[in-house]
Each structure stands twice: as C-alpha cells, then as structure tokens.
Amino acid sequence: MASFNPHRNSLNFLRLVLALTVVVSHSIALGGFGALNGLNQTGFGQIAVYGFFGISGFLIAGSALRNSPVRYLWQRFLRIFPAFWICLLVTAFAIGIVAWLSHPPIHCGLSCYFNSKSSPYSYVYRDFLLRMNQGSIAGTPPVGIAQGVWNGSTWTLFYEFVCYLILMLLAGAGLLRRRVLTLCLTIGVWAAAAVITLTPALSSHFSLFENDTSMNLIKFTAIFMVGAVIFLYKDRIPDSGWLALICLALFVAGLYLPTGGKQPEYFFTSSGLLAPLVAYPLLWLGIHLPLQRVGARNDYSYGLYIYGFPMTQLLLIWGVAGWGLIPFTILSALLTAPVAILSWWLIEKHALRLKSFSLRTHARPIGIEAE
C-alpha cells in the first residue's frame, strides 16, 4: 500500500458512495421495503458503516502521528461537532416543525411542540455530545418502523469519536509508533469480538438491550484499528488486486454465516466476524479508481450521512412511500443532497478552516518503529 498518495486518491469518492448507500438503505427500510435491504439480515447501510470505519482508521492514523494531541483533537472536533450541532438544530427547529404542522394533533398548536416533555430544546441538549439520548421531538416522527426516531444514522458518530480518542491515547503514549504493539492490540480487540460471538454465555449479555455501548465499541474499534494498522504497515502490505479480491470474497462469505436469526446491527453474530476485512478492498479501490477529483475539494459525504434519515422520515410523513420503492428512494436522495451541500458550504468548510486557529503546536515527523 506504499503507492497510496494522500493528495491524490479516490477515498472521498468512496465515502460519498458509502454515505449514499446509507441514505438508500434507510429509505428502503423506512419505506417498508426491508426485504430488499441487505444480505442475510445485514443491511447495506450497516455494510457501508463498516466501510466508513475502515477508511477512517486508515486516514486518521496518519493525522494522529503527524500532530500533537491538542491539534489532533481540535481537528477531529471540527470535522464532527459543528455540522452535527447544526443538524440537531435544523432537525429540532425546522424539520420537526414541518412534520408537526403536517400532522398536527387535534386542538394543539405549535405551543405543544415547544412545551412538550420531549421538546426541541431537550432534543438538542440531550444529544449535544453525540450520544443520542432523545430520538423523538414532541411525539414526532409519528409514523413508520422508526416511529419516534428522527435520526437513526448519527448514533455511530459517538463510536467514531471514541475511536479518534483511542488513537490519540495510543499516539500520546508512543504506542502508535510501535506498530507491532498496535497490531497486537488490534488483534486482541478482534479476538475479543470473536470470543464473545462464539461463546453463547457471553454473547447473550451483549446486545442492543444489554451492554450495547460495549458491543458497538468492540465491533467498530476492531474495524477502525484494522484500517489504522494498514496505514502503519503500508510499506509492508502489498498493493494487490488479488489480495483485495480475497478479502472481499471472505467478507461477503462471512455475511452468509449463520446468525441464529439475529441482526448483526443489534447483536454479536458470526456474520460480523469478518467485517474488518472490508477495509483493505476499499483502500485498494481508493488507490486505483481514477476518480480523484470527486470530493477532493468539496466533501458532501458527511452531510448526506447526517441528514439522510430525517429527510427520509419527512417524506414518509408526507406519504411518499406509497408511491413505491424507486420513487421513494430517489426522492430521499434528491431531498437530502441540497441539504448536504448547504451543510458543507455553510458549516463544514468554514469549520475546517479553523484547524490551525490559535494552536501553536507543530506537526511531528512520522517515525514508526518497524519491529
């Protein structure tokens, strides 16, 4: 992977595709067309999230090595929080109000919306630190399989940021430069996921309903750290289309392993064991696809990811799902796209310009101990 060029690659294009996959996957599920959404109970959106974490681990490892902990954390904060906070405000004080006015309760105006126990104000402050503690606003959204959940995508951002913090701690302790130790830690996390999955007595205590934070942290950290390890060993890992194909084949085969009727999004299942293998094929594509210009200067993937679910919920409230799968899915993407573009030009682009604001720390040379 030594051929990777940080200034000329197609990873931004791939992240745009992954974000669009999440939007489409959620629109299929929310519209009631779930039978078309995934492989062996693993949704396409879930697979796309795996890809996000793998790519992120690769890219963020370089940032953790180059920068001091303060600068690194500042950069990561700017990429996640400003646009997320605006998304909370837009959902609470624009999208939610439109939904309320579209289906107003009898004899109850907007005052009920703002004075509800689950008010737009509580939605913002309870979810302010990435933990989605409140999904509904005054009983909206009122319909569908995700009734009472305005944003079913942003819950992963908490785990993404925790992974950033893990890399910061490893870099600060000097462990990230000792790549053998990082490799051993990554293998340990992946092995822990395997042991829990294959031990029914353990697996029964990790699910959406019990120890969900630990479950998701182990899952996503394993994928994220595999991406980071690929970066650390990029001078030793071959740039091989065959290796990418083998990893992809094993990953897809893993999706068809027995799940015991459980969804990998909510439980440890055998179909999720090989999820970290998705990182290498995506990174290989990022090197070789001739789409370096797509998203190179303007990256709309984050906006698509955080706004796709609420915009699709709005279409569902308006009854657009009744038009059929294809119109509903296409309109979900079309309605989300301009909001994502505005998020980039009005919020994200300006926030990222503050990366070096009042931080007089210097980038550190990337020296990695080989063995």
pLDDT in tens, the chain (371 residues): 778 888 899 999 999 999 999 999 999 999 999 877 788 889 999 999 999 999 999 999 999 999 999 999 999 999 999 999 999 999 999 999 999 998 877 678 899 999 999 999 999 999 999 999 999 999 999 988 999 999 999 999 999 999 999 999 999 999 999 999 999 999 999 999 999 999 999 999 999 999 999 999 999 999 999 999 999 999 999 999 999 999 999 999 999 988 888 888 899 998 889 999 999 999 999 999 999 999 889 999 999 999 999 999 999 999 999 999 999 999 999 999 999 999 999 999 999 999 877 655 455 555 555 44
Q: Which helix (H) or strand (E) holds 88?
A: helix 69-90
DSSP code for 256: T
Answer whether 65's CB lies under 8 Å from 366's CB. yes
Q: Retrieve residue 335's tokens.
A: 């309605």
Contact (Cβ atoms closer than 8 angstroms) between residue 223 and residue 54: yes
Please state at what angle helix 69-90 crosses helix 301-317, rounded to 10 degrees.
Answer: 20
* Closest among 241, 65, 252, 87 to 157, alpha carbons compared: 87
